[in-house]
Amino acid sequence: MATEFNFIKSLEKSYDSHPAVCYYCGKPLSFKKFYKQYEVPQKFCSKKCKNSYAKETSDTLKTSEEFSSQTERAIYTFLTLQYPSYVVKHNLKDVYPPYEIDMCVETNEFPIYLEYNGNLHWSNSRKRQLNDKIKKDELCARRQLKLVRLWSEIGIYSRPSVFNEALKKLKEEIDTLIKNNINGGKCIEIVVDKNEEFHRYTEEF
């Protein structure tokens, strides 16, 4: 459990007084189980309960966790805690099919799309990787929307100080976009290189 992250720690602190309960049997969930299923509305205490529920109801609602990495779940959790008055979506499949957009903060003015890529190989193919032009062209250039991308050459989840810094920068970018409220496409890329240094690139469309 990433107890080094303050925002998760404070979430856990407030959790114990109002724990979530298993959607099937009603048993209170430990924080660990709650957090592992943070992004899905129906949470279960065990595989058994989850399967029983699925069998009884043939429910097609999402009942399994969506995030493939701890990093993504932590980013999502962070955003929901930072922006309680906005809807924060994840794994968006209907924005630009067949592509998936990792997350979106629905502000009052415009959606801010967010992507995380923890497999950047910057030195060899910086241009190709950072290019990843398809989504940028469609969302920022053609649709004039905002996209913020966090790229990393190293695992940032296991480096709490780097991860906290990345989250701070992510929030600063989102806050600035909201505050300035300027129309037009914009792509902001935050890159963490293998020396744990941050780089920032922006493009306007």
Nearer to Zn ion, 24 or 67 (CB): 24
- Residue 91 φ/ψ, nearest 5 degrees: 45, 60
> Among candidates 83, 92, 51, 102, which has minimal Cα distance to 177?
83
Residue linked to tokens 């595989």: 47
Nearer to Zn ion, 22 or 170 (CB): 22
Nearer to Zn ion, 22 or 130 (CB): 22
Please report how close the Cβ of residue 40 comes to Zn ion at its closest, in angstroms.
Answer: 14
Nearer to Zn ion, 26 or 98 (CB): 26
Binding stretches for Zn ion (CB under 5 A): 22, 24-25, 27, 45, 49
Nearer to Zn ion, 21 or 141 (CB): 21
Please report how close the Cβ of residue 48 comes to Zn ion at its closest, in angstroms.
Answer: 7
Please report how close the Cβ of residue 104 comes to Zn ion at its closest, in angstroms.
Answer: 31
Please report how close the Cβ of residue 37 comes to Zn ion at its closest, in angstroms.
Answer: 12
DSSP the chain: --TT-HHHHHHHHHHTTS--B-TTT-PBPPHHHHHHTTT-SS--SSHHHHHHHHHHH---S--S---SSHHHHHHHHHHHHH-TTSEEEEEEEEEETTEEEEEEEE-SS-EEEEEEES---HHHHHHHHHH-HHHIIIIIIIS--EEEEEEESS--TT-HHHHHHHHHHHHHHHHHHHHH---S-EEEEEEE-TTS-EEEEEEE-
Contact 69, 157 (CB under 8 A): yes
Please report how close the Cβ of residue 26 comes to Zn ion at its closest, in angstroms.
Answer: 7
Nearer to Zn ion, 49 or 95 (CB): 49
Please report how close the Cβ of residue 65 comes to Zn ion at its closest, in angstroms.
Answer: 16
